[in-house]
């Protein structure tokens, strides 16, 4: 498996510094948070996109994916959501990222079947853009659809290879789903896996990997047992928790911890 980290852990850091951090600590790739607060987002120019791609190539680091914020099950018109995904897909094509992340984002008062149908309809339309651009859309286990069982209700309706899943291990755990059940649900669709650690269900402040309660060992064992050979991406949510320790000093030990888990899992 390849290892990556998310720029959510180093908010606003210039791309050359991101590349250097990844290379210095032995990571193969980086997930870029695609938001106007960050150096890479759909509003940047063609020249800026080319520079980003060149900096990663020169540093020998892959761009794993772009973490976008489109909410595919949210109430409202389809057009703005589909356009947001389309812009993200074009950006991914331009910088050389194989994946883009979207959220479910259904409203609390929405009928679940209606929310699933809305998400599937939008993803099915966006999948045609994704096919043309050679990029895959990944629905993250998050918010209204936090478990694998939730996500496959949508993915099964879409039924398109260019639409898959992103397994966020915190949300499936918070949803009460065992790693083996999550993998069984998502394996036909799985793009990559986001790992992290937290103190408890009531305190989701990010912690160094291996120091919290999330079932990272079990997740890696399940993946290894099924010979899954994708990406593990450490999403350290520093952006939302200013008091959390800086990620830069944790990257080396975090990589070592993941390598130990991989070695132990065989």
Residue by residue, DSSP assigns 130-194 as HHHHT-EEEEESBTTB-SHHHHHHHHHHH--TTEEEEEEHHHHHHTT--HHHHHHHHTTTEEEEE
- Distance between CA 223 and CA 215 in Å, rounded? 13
Domain, as residue range, for 34: 2-265
- Quote the pLDDT of residue 263: 94
Residues 252-262: tens digit of each pLDDT: 999 999 999 99
- Quote the pLDDT of residue 178: 98
- Distance between CA 251 and CA 212 in Å, rounded? 16
Instruction: Name residues of the chain where pLDDT drops below 70.
Output: none
Structural domains counted in the chain? 1
DSSP 195: E
- Quote the pLDDT of residue 83: 98
Q: pTM of the predicted model, to two decimals?
A: 0.97
- Quote the pLDDT of residue 111: 95
Output the domain CATH number for residue 8: 3.20.20.150
> Which helix (H) or strand (E) segment is 200 a member of?
none
- Report how far apart, in Å, the C-alpha atoms of 255 and of each of 26, 53, 113, 153 are: 7, 24, 40, 34
Q: What are 60's two structure tokens?
A: 């020998």
- Can you point out the beta strands (E) in the chain? 2-6, 29-33, 62-71, 99-103, 136-140, 163-168, 190-195, 231-234
């Amino acid at each position: 498996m390849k290892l990556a980290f998310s720029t959510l852990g180093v908010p606003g850091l210039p791309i050359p510094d991101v590349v250097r951090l990844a290379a210095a600590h032995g990571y193969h790739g980086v997930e870029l948070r695609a938001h106007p607060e960050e150096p890479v987002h759909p509003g940047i120019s063609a020249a800026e996109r080319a520079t980003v791609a060149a900096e990663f190539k020169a540093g020998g680091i892959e761009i794993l994916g772009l973490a976008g914020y489109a909410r595919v099950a949210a109430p409202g018109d389809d057009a703005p959501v589909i356009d947001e995904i389309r812009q993200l897909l074009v950006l991914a094509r331009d910088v050389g990222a194989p994946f883009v992340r979207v959220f479910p984002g259904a409203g609390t008062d929405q009928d679940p079947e209606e929310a699933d149908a809305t998400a599937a309809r939008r993803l099915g339309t966006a999948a045609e853009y994704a096919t043309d651009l050679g990029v895959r859309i990944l629905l993250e286990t998050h918010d209204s659809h936090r478990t694998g069982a939730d996500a496959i209700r949508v993915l099964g309706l879409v039924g398109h290879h260019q639409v898959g899943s992103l397994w966020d291990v915190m949300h499936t755990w918070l949803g009460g789903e065992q790693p083996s059940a999550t993998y069984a649900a998502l394996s036909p669709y799985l793009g990559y896996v986001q790992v992290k650690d937290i103190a408890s269900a009531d305190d989701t402040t990010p912690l160094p990997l291996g120091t919290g309660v999330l079932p990272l060992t079990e997740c890696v064992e399940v993946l290894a047992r099924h010979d899954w050979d994708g990406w593990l991406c450490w999403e350290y949510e520093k952006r939302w928790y200013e008091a959390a320790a800086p990620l830069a000093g944790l990257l080396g030990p975090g990589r070592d911890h993941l390598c130990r888990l991989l070695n132990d899992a065989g």
